[in-house]
Structure 1
Amino acid sequence: MSVLRVGNASGFYGDRFDALREMLTGGELDVVTGDYLAELTMLILGRDRLKDPAAGYARTFLRQLEECLGLAHERGVRIVANAGGLNPAGLADAVRELADRIGIPVRVAHVEGDDVGPRWPGSLTAHAYLGGFGIAACLREGADVVVTGRVTDAALVTGPAAAHFGWRPREYDRLAGAVVAGHVLECGTQATGGNYAFFADGGAGRDLRRPGFPLAEIHEDGSCVITKHPGTGGFVDVGTVTAQLLYETGGARYAGPDVTARLDTVRLTQDGPDRVRIDGVRGEAPPPALKVGRTRLGGFRNEVVFVLTGLDIEAKAALVREQMTDALAKSPPAQVRWELVRTDRPDADTEETAGALLRLVVRDPEQAVVGRALSGAAVELALASYPGFHLLAPPGKGSPYGVFEASSVPQGDVEHVAVLHDGRRLTVPAPPADGTRPLEAAPEPGLPEPLPPGPVRRAPLGLVAGARSGDKGGDANLGVWARTDEAWRWLAHELTTDRLRELLPECRTLTVTRHVLPRLRALNFVVEGVLGEGVAARHRFDPQAKALGEWLRSRCLDIPEALL
């Protein structure tokens, strides 16, 4: 059968608005997808729904369709997006109303069944991650637009591929290939040079001012080529694809509702300018349970940042900490976190570069404890504390924060339904018991031969290794890869979990698991608990661990001179 061209036009709720038009007008395409849902987004949509029960979906998607639905219809491009969020049926109705108003005859379907909130009383949202076969059912029955709630990011690609090629549930290798393609596409321009460790290398065709969005040319056997429309910015090479493959994954087994993809079987090959072939992907039966993402309101949060300037930074910080502790003693917040960020320089030639930041973050179930009490205590010190006292910004009244928690539910306990454009409801059966496999860690692969001893030089890790990091609830994922076989021979032996803890002291007391992926010349680390209760709780300076990998790359260690 013909190649299926699947493009991406959104990696998150708030991504480039014009991307949908760019993908529809920039070149050949069969399906355009949009990923709008992250862990934080579900919390935001949950709070929207508290104010308006008819809300709960990504309104940006509707505005994009107002511009682009006619274009997609003219070009025969189908649209698949998880913009339905908490209310896919509501979004499907809104798309139909829009299509009627602008006179575009499109068939709109949606997927539901992911909402498992009744199982977890007290949750703001609780949604199971569904697979791609509900999307496939909608497309097979003629839908032009399919909107979903919480499906896996890769399902936006596996669904169209299964519909186009006629794949069935047990065709694991084909499905796994599509899962890998979907994972590369789902974060948009992160596959085309965005957020890329070696962005400064330069070179022809690497204009990163406005990277084009990626697309996958998927073949019937599940292999694909990752590319982008001609003439768009950014670039696609083995490095950009490797970086995205490592993003927010863990071990060699990447589990999903339809298949468990073996990331240790992925083979990447440069197939020409801005073309990377992915093949060799093997798949296994999916696990018997679906992942469930739950959010709840955790309480209230407030923050005050004190600016400390010039001399005696440590003493100034100690004084204001003692003063604030005394002031809050009558009703102390449940959680108090201090962090001194030494941005100051000696003998600085500007006042800003002579300053350090002392950050106080408090959390409590009661807003008053983190609101008026904290703000009043900080402001009252204005004339009674360290010399040069001032705040980065006036303290606020405190705001609610959310908590993300992962759980699971048996696949058979979730009713996965494709609601077709004509109103028919097709139930998507769960895998039978003999069609699932409990998730286990893959066998540890052998390491390459270490480099022979030789002269070394103290230098940043980032000179020889790339990294990309991100969040999964309260944990962080940190993928590190080498660009040459020689660098891999060194990295695989040098960057152990103990060495990672040494380089990143924040991780010293935390559980760190290392996964080895030799075909990608990569190590993938999972750091448990470094993000506290997740991104919405804003536990640390970088609440989604987006820059954890860049911090690691900036750390110095003894690197063989042959690699430098």
Structure 2
Amino acid sequence: MARGPIRVANFSGYLGDRFTAVDEAMAGDPVDVLVGDYLAEITLAALAARYQHDPTKGYVGYFLDQIRPHLAALAERGIKVVTNAGGFHPAGLATALRDLASHEGVQLRIAHIEGDNVAPDLPRLRAEGHRFEHLDTGQPLDSWGLEPIAANAYLGGWGIAAALAEGADIVVCGRATDASLAAGAAAWWHGWDRGDWTAMAGAVTAGHIIECGSQAVGGNFSGFTRIPDMTTPGFPIAEIAADGTSVITKHARDGGAVTVDTVTAQLVYEIQGPTYLNPDVTVHFDTLRLTALGRDRVGVGGATGSPPPPTTKVAAFAQLGFAIVDTVFVTAPDVDDKIELLCAQVGKDLPDGVDQLEFTRLGTAATDPESQWDATVAVRVAATARQREPLVRLGLARRLAGLYLQSIPGFFHDADAAPATKPKPRIDYWPALLPQEAVAHRAVLDDGRVVRIDPPADTAVSEQPRHPEPAAAPPATGTRSAALGSVAYARSGDKGGNCNVGVWVPDERSWPWLRQALSTEELRRLLPEVKDLDIVRHELPALRAVHFVLRGLLGTSASANTRVDQAGKAVGEYLRAKHLPIPEELLTSWEHDAAH
């Protein structure tokens, strides 16, 4: 007999997410499994540097402090916990958890997942002919010119399912895919087989929706003004049924809201297109259907699955060099001339070895400012070098502070903000693929037994669909120039050196206009920064969304570029701020809905 839906509650979307989230989840509605995601690619880069310095660490100690007060309650209530807080040392975190539980006098079985760390195997794998070609450039890893300090293969959820089936109460993972935390738990709960593609596709979809914490409950949402009680939005829950369909909801006591649009925002976040690849299944988002089922309840159905790819992603990291950044302020008038002189003065007689000095102007001074701050713009100064010493000799903070009496009028620092004096490592990122059969995926139980996870028996190569560009721009008659955000929502994020942007409309009547208006050519016009980039465009009609991948906007990676918006999280809102001709009837309809 089919088991009822598993209730999976998220408590973390990244390293640094709200510390009290575990407390809130334990005090909220009943759930079966808690999942916590900590490992964004930019986080992995930081953990890689830390692990290199101290191999006994490399995991998220923050998680230990979060879970400590709840160990007894977890055991008493039978709630399972699955997390990728293991980072580069899941065995170390599992041991720390066992010690903590023993100290608290709590009986909990703790397992960890291994096999993602392929860094020690790189020499052998390369000797066997694995070239680790870069996913964007196609170049082999040997051409990088940097020595990897870490390399992690993305694991699926079957190791998690095996550990739970063996009685584990807490499962600690390293680089399992974000969605696999929930999908693995669902596969265990429902007893799915490896070939249950549609059910697993639905679970991966649900896992993707809840993986980023409060984002599915109104956090980081373009329509936040329409979401109640946003001071402290709660964390989401996925109720995943035996057929893979799900309902996304939240703890009733918490703030925020779950709506079709907050769920859509997460579905178009950090994807490469409608074909969503996971080590366990290939999910086809273009068949998804979202249904509003009531307050804070959105049904997710229609996900179709096919066999997973024969390969899995590998994230390699290497130290590219060092960087140091400082920010100063310039006051109108004559802002352009003032910044020009400031650049010349700071850039004079740079020490050998400083390979980049970048000035970024932030903001525009008002023409007739009402306050001093309306007349002020920030100037961010970033310097990079392969070695630390040239940046130490540069003395950026000293150099900037030395200009007070010999540079421009109206130039200052924030006196209460400590200037940057120590260069920080820059960690570069190399995304590649490795055959799944080359990854030794295994679950290690608390009694030392090892459950080996076979690679998938059936695989298939799936390409992203190709969607034609709109035949022509929509008619200009009956339109008014307005911000795209007047009728559309957006969400953007990082995928290595690429930035993805999903734009959608909540109103079915607006979809024909959006898909016709938002062509690649129009995107290049709206965003001059991307006009020379390779842009991939997709449509997801069931979500009323147009999706773009801006290849190379983030340089080689979010962790290594020197952009202020390093991971591209604000690109979607920037696009929404841009003006274009919008039909008057759509604007009127949106304004009417907002008023009511």
> Deviation at 1:354?
1.7
Gaps of 5+ in 2: 124-146, 588-596
Q: How does 1:16-55 map to 2 (within 5 A)?
A: 16-55=18-57
Partners in 2 of 1:436 and 1:323 — Cα distance?
A: 59
**Mapped pair 1:154 → 2:179:** yes
The answer on whether the counterparts of 2:323 and 2:424 sit within 8 Å (CA) in structure 1 is yes
The code of the aligned residue for 1:482 comes to V
Q: Once the 2 structures are TM-superposed, how far is the Cα of residue 445 of structure 1 from its aligned partner?
A: 7.8
CA contact (8 A) 2:239 2:248 kept: yes
Partner residue in 1 for 2:83: 81
2:386 — aligned with what?
365
CA deviations over 1:203-232 (Å, ceiling 9, x no partner)? xxx211111111111111100100112222
Find the aligned partners of 1:455 and 1:398 in 2 and give their Cα distance.
55
Of 74-83 and 450-459, the range deviating more from structure 2: 450-459
Structure 1 residues 334, 241: closer, same or farther in 2, change over 3 A? same
Q: Structure 2: which amino acid aligns with 1:216?
A: A
- 1:61 CA drift (Å): 1.2
| 1:404 alignment counterpart | 429
3-state DSSP class of the match of 2:569?
coil
2:366 corresponds in structure 1 to 345
Give the corresponding residue for 1:471: 494
1:416 and 2:418 are equivalent in the alignment: no
Q: 1:209 to 1:390 in 2, by over 3 A?
A: closer
Aligned CA distance change for structure 1 residues 59 and 332 (closer, same or farther; 3 Å): closer
Which range moved further: 23-32 or 515-524?
23-32
**Residue 105 of structure 1: SS of its match in structure 2?**
coil
- How many correspondences in the alignment? 558
Equivalent residue runs for 1:539-550 within 5 Å: 539-550=562-573
**More displaced stretch, 86-95 vs 535-544:** 535-544
Change (3 A) 1:335 1:231: same
Q: Contact 1:42–1:125 (CA<8 Å) still a contact in 2?
A: no
Contact 2:530 2:553 in 1 (8 A): yes
- AA of the residue aligned to 1:418: A
Secondary structure at the aligned position of 1:371 is classed as: helix
- What percentage of aligned pairs have identical amino acids? 44
- Aligned equivalent of 1:557, options 555, 580, 583: 580
Is the partner of 2:348 in helix, strand or coil? helix
Partner SS, residue 477 of structure 1: strand
Q: Distance in 2 between matches of 1:402 and 1:263?
A: 32
SS of residue paired to 2:394: helix
Deviation of 1:304 (Å): 3.5
Stretches of structure 1 that go unaligned for 5 or more consecutive residues are none
Out of 327, 333, 353, the residue aligned to residue 354 of structure 2 is: 333
- 382, 402, 410: which is aligned to 2:404? 382
8 Å CA contact retained: 2:217, 2:236:
yes
Q: Does 1:183 align with 2:204?
A: no
Aligned to 2:64: 62
Give the superposition deviation at 1:554. Answer: 0.7
Counterpart of 2:119 (choices 117, 120, 124) is 117
- Residue 192 (structure 1) aligns with: 217
Give the 3 Å change call, closer, same or farther, for CA 117–332 of structure 1 in structure 2: closer
Partner of 1:237: 259
Q: Aligned runs of 1:429-468 on 2, under 5 Å?
A: 429-432=454-457, 435-444=458-467, 454-468=477-491
When residues 367 and 151 of structure 1 are mapped into structure 2, their CA distance, relative to the original with a 3 A threshold, is same
User: In structure 2, do the counterparts of structure 1 residues 19 and 306 end up closer, same or farther at CA, with 3 Å as the change threshold?
Assistant: closer
Taking a change above 3 Å as real, the CA distance of residues 402 and 105 of structure 1, as seen in their structure-2 partners, is: same
Q: Taking structure 1 as the reference length, what is the TM-score of the superposition? A: 0.95
Closer, same or farther: CA 179–31 of 1 in aligned 2, 3 Å: same
Which residue of 1 is the match for residue 191 of structure 2?
A: 166
After superposition, the CA RMSD in angstroms is 2.0
1:18, 1:395 → 2: CA distance?
A: 30
TM-fit CA distance, 1:447: 7.6
Alpha-carbon spacing, 1:396–1:120, altered in 2? closer, same or farther (3 Å): farther
Superposed displacement of residue 83, structure 1: 0.9
The separation in 1 between residues aligned to 2:108 and 2:75, in whole angstroms, is 7
Q: 1:246 aligns with which of 268, 273, 276?
A: 268
**CA–CA separation in structure 2 for the residues paired with 1:299 and 1:4:** 46
Which stretch of the first structure deviates more once superposed, 551-560 or 399-408? 399-408
Q: Please give the alpha-carbon distance, in whole angstroms, between the structure 2 residues aligned to 1:335 and 1:228.
A: 46
Cα distance change of structure 1 residues 368 and 351 upon mapping to structure 2, 3 Å threshold: farther
> Counterparts in 2 of 1:210-359, with a 5 A limit?
210-328=232-350, 331=352, 333-359=354-380
1:469 deviates by 0.6
Q: Which residue of 1 aligns with 2:590?
A: none
Could you state the TM-score of these two structures normalised by the residue count of structure 2?
A: 0.90
Distance 1:332 1:428, change over 3 A: closer
Is the Cα–Cα contact under 8 Å of residues 481 and 580 in structure 2 kept in the other structure? Answer: yes
Query: What is the deviation of 1:297?
Result: 1.2
Conserved? CA contact 2:347–2:357, under 8 Å: no
